[in-house]
Amino acid sequence: MTQRTVLDAPDITRAITRIAHEIIESDKGSDNLVLLGIPRRGVPLATRLADQIAEISGGETQASELVGSLDITMYRDDLRGGSYRAPEPTRIPSAGIDGRTVVLVDDVLFSGRTIRAALDALADLGRPAKVRLAVLVDRGHRDLPIRADHVGKNLPTSSSERVNVSLAEIDGEDAVTISGGRE
Amino acid sequence: MTDYLIRGADILGRGAGDIAIKDGRIVDPDLLGAGAETIEAAGLVALPGLVDMHTHLREPGKEDAETILTGSRSAAAGGYTCVHAMANTAPVADTAGVVEQVHRLGRSAGYTEVVPIGAVTIGQAGEQLAELGAMARSAARVRMFSDDGICVSDPLLMRRALEYVKTFDGIIAQHAQEPRLTEGAQMNEGTVSAELGLPGWPAVAEESIIARDVLLAEHVGSRLHVCHVSTAGSVDLIRWAKSRGIRVTAEVTPHHLMLTDELVRTFDPVYKVNPPLRTAADVTALREALADGTIDVVGTDHAPHTAEHKCSEWTAAAMGMVGMETALPIVVEAMSDHDFDFGDLARIMSSAPARITGASGHGSLEIGASANIVLIDPNRSHTIVPAEHATKGRNNPFAGLDVATDITDTFFYGHRVLAEGVLSTPHPAGASWTDQ
Amino acid sequence: MKHLLDTASLDREDAVAILDIAEEMALVSQREIKKLPVLRGRTVVNLFFEDSTRTRLSFEAAAKRLSADVLNFSAKGSSVSKGESLQDTIQTISAMGADALVVRHSGAGTAHRLAHTGWIDVPVVNAGDGTHEHPTQALLDAFTLRRALNGFPASGPVEEGPRGRGLDGAKVAIVGDVLHSRVARSNVHLLARLGADVHLIAPPTLLPWGAETWPVTIHYDLDEALAAEDFQAVMMLRVQHERMHESFFPNAREYARLWGLSAARLAVLPAETFIMHPGPMNRGFEISAAAADSSRALVLDQVENGVSVRMAVLYRLLTGQEETND
Residues facing residue C129 across a β-bridge: C105, C133
Distance from C-alpha of B409 to C-alpha of A60, rounded to nearest angstrom: 99
Nearest CA in chain A to C34: A124
CB A150 within 8 A of CB A134: yes
Are C142 and C86 members of one domain? Answer: no
Of B119-123, B421-425, C87-91, which range is least confident? C87-91
Residue C321 has pLDDT above 70, yes or no: no
pLDDT at C71 over 60: yes
Q: Which residues of C touch A82 (CB under 8 A)?
A: 320-321
Q: Which of A67, A71, A73, A74 to mutate to test the interface with C (most CBs of C within 10 A)?
A: A74
Q: Does residue C114 sit in the same domain as residue C194? A: no
Fold of A8-76+89-158: Rossmann fold (3.40.50)
Q: How far, in Å, are A73, A81, C98 from residue A78 at the CA level? A: 10, 6, 19
Q: Tell me, what's the pLDDT at B332? A: 98
pLDDT over threshold 50, residue C323: no
Claim to verify: residue C154 and residue C272 sit in the same structural domain: yes
| DSSP element (H, E) containing A108 | strand A101-109
- Among residues C9, C3, C11, C278, the alpha carbon closest in space to that of C166 is found at C11
Say how far apart CA A131 and CA A97 lie, in whole Å.
10
Chains with ≥3 CB–CB distances under 8 Å to C: A, B
CATH of the domain at C245: 3.40.50.1370
Cβ distance C60 to C29 under 8 Å? no
Least CA distance to C321: which residue of chain A?
A: A83
Q: What is the DSSP string of B322-380?
A: --TTTHHHHHHHHTTTSS--HHHHHIIIIIHHHHHHT-TTSS--STTSB--EEEEETT-
Residue A1, pLDDT score: 62
Pairs of CB atoms within 8 A across A/C: 53
Residues of A in contact with C315 (CB under 8 A): 74, 87
Residue C197 has pLDDT above 60, yes or no: yes
Whether residues C86 and C228 share a domain: the answer is no
For the packed helices B155-164 and B203-220, what is the interaxial angle rounded to 10 degrees? 40
Calpha distance B256→B249 (Å, rounded): 17
Tell me the residue ranges of DSSP E strands in chain C.
43-48, 69-74, 100-105, 124-129, 171-175, 197-201, 216-219, 233-236, 274-276
CA distance B257 to chain C (A): 23
How much of chain A is helix, strand and coil, in % rounded to 5?
30, 25, 40
The C-alpha of B186 sits at a distance from chain C's nearest C-alpha, in angstroms, of 10
Task: Say whether both C271 and C255 belong to one domain.
Answer: yes
Give the number of other CB atoms < 10 A from CB of residue B135: 28
Mean pLDDT of chain B: 96
pLDDT of residue A182: 59
Mutate to test the interface with A, among C20, C32, C42 (most CBs of A within 10 A): C32
> What are the angstrom distances between the C-alpha of B177 and each of B96, B228, B257, B395?
27, 11, 19, 23
Task: Note the pLDDT tens digit of each residue in C292-319.
Answer: 999 999 999 999 999 999 999 999 999 8
DSSP B56-122: ---TTT-TTT--HHHHHHHHHHTTEEEEEEPS-SSS-S-SHHHHHHHHHHHHHH-SSEEEE-B-SBG
- pLDDT of C324 above 50: no
Q: Averaged in consecutive runs of 10 residues, what is the pLDDT profile of chain A (183 residues)?
A: 89 96 84 92 96 85 89 83 78 91 96 94 92 96 94 92 94 93 59
What gap in Å lies between CA C166 and CA C27, rounded to an integer? Answer: 20
List the domain range (segments joined by +) for residue C89. Answer: 12-133+304-318
What single-letter DSSP state applies at residue C102? Answer: E
Looking at the structure of chain C, the number of domains it has is 2
- CB of C321 within 8 Å of a chain A CB? The answer is yes
B374-383, C68-77, C195-204: which range is least confident on average?
C68-77
Tens digits of residue pLDDT in C111-154? 999 999 888 999 999 999 999 999 999 999 999 999 999 999 99
Residues C71 and C149 in one domain: no
Determine whether the interchain pair C113/B268 forms a contact, defined as Cβ–Cβ distance below 8 Å: yes
- Contacts with A79 from chain C: Cβ below 8 Å: 38, 319-320
Among C130, C244, C241, C147, which residue's Cα sits nearest to residue C183?
Answer: C130
Tens digit of each residue's pLDDT (9 = 90 or more) over B140-172: 999 999 999 999 999 999 999 999 999 999 999
The whole-angstrom separation of Cα B255 and Cα B249 is: 19
User: 3-state class of A49 per DSSP?
Assistant: helix
Mind telling me the catalytic residues of C? 54-55, 82, 104, 134
Q: Do C110 and B314 touch (CB under 8 A)?
A: yes
Contacts 24+ apart (CB under 8 A), C252-255: C252/C285, C255/C203, C255/C285, C255/C286
Contact B436, B361 (CB under 8 A): yes
Q: Residue C274: inside a domain, yes or no?
A: yes
The pLDDT score that the predictor gives to residue B138 is: 96
Residue C4, domain member (yes or no): no
Q: Are residues C193 and C279 in the same domain?
A: yes
Q: What is the ipTM of this complex?
A: 0.92
Alpha carbon of C232 to those of A97, B151, C145, C302: distances in Å? 40, 50, 9, 16
Q: Report pLDDT digits (tens) over C164-173.
A: 999 999 999 9
Instruction: Say what the pTM is.
Output: 0.91
Query: Do residue C101 and residue C177 come from a single domain?
Result: no
pLDDT of residue A163: 94
Give helix B96-109 / helix B68-77 axis angle, nearest 10°. 50
* Contact by Cβ (8 Å): B324, B316: no
What confidence score (pLDDT) does residue C85 get? Answer: 79
| Domain extents in chain A | 8-76+89-158
pLDDT digits (tens, 9 = 90+) for C82-121: 567 788 888 888 888 999 999 999 999 999 999 998 889 9
Query: To the nearest whole number, what is the mean pLDDT of chain C?
Result: 92
Residues of chain A with Cβ-Cβ distance to C36 below 8 Å are 74-75, 124
Across residues B341-360, what is the average pLDDT? 97
CA distances for C294 relative to A58, C137, C161, C231, C233, angstroms: 51, 22, 24, 17, 13
Which pLDDT score, from 0 to 100, does residue C326 have?
A: 35
C-alpha to C-alpha distance for B373 and C168, rounded to whole angstroms: 67
**Residue B279 or residue A2, greater confidence:** B279
Residues C140 and C114 both lie in one domain: no
Query: What is the three-class DSSP state of B384?
Result: coil
**Cα(A53)–Cα(B111) distance, integer angstroms:** 95
Distances (CA, A) of A73 to A87, B180, C32: 6, 57, 18
Query: What is the structure's pLDDT at B63?
Result: 96
Half-sphere exposure of C62 (CA within 13 A, CB side): 33
pLDDT in the model for residue B317: 93
Q: Given CB atoms, is C57 within the 8 Å cutoff of chain B?
A: no
Report the SS3 class of residue A175.
Answer: strand
Could you give the percent of chain B with pLDDT greater than 70? Answer: 100
For A75-101, the pLDDT digits (tens) are: 987 776 666 778 888 899 988 999 999
Whats the size of chain B, residue-wise?
436
Asked if residue C170 belongs to a domain, the reply is yes
Q: What Cα–Cα distance (Å) separates residue C167 from each residue in A158, B279, C105, C192? A: 49, 34, 30, 8
Q: Is the pLDDT of residue B207 over 60?
A: yes
**Residue C115 and residue C148 share a domain:** no
* DSSP H or E segment with residue B188: strand B187-188
Q: What is the pLDDT of residue B435?
A: 78
pLDDT-above-90 percentage for chain B: 95
- Taking the CA of residue C17 and the nearest CA in chain A, the distance in Å comes to 8
| Interface list for C 103-122 with B (CB within 8 A) | 105-110, 112-113, 116-117
Decide if B267 and C112 are in contact by the 8 Å CB cutoff: yes
